[in-house]
Amino acid sequence: MSKLNIVDMFCGGGGESTGLIEAAHDYNFDINMSAINHWERAIETHSKNYPFAEHFLRR
């Protein structure tokens, strides 16, 4: 199975992440996920919902 590297820019609760994951799975791709935001609370929330993702806090 091929692997996609996906990035959720301005992550939060994970709506975009969920859409990206579902689309990847529809086409039989595995994923590596990264998520970025400038707000620490958004990173904390996304980390709880997607613990397998690599998270970046950028200001």
Structure tokens at 13: 């609760």
Domain holding 50, by residue range, is 3-57
* CA dist., res. 3 & res. 57, Å (int): 24
Beta bridge partners of 30: 3
Number of folded domains that form the chain = 1
Chain centroid to CA 57: how far?
Answer: 13
Query: Which of 23, 26, 24, 21 shows the shortest CA–CA distance to 52?
Result: 21
Question: pLDDT digits over 27-36, tens only?
Answer: 999 999 999 9
Which band of pLDDT confidence, cut at 50, 70 and 90, is reported for residue 1? Answer: confident
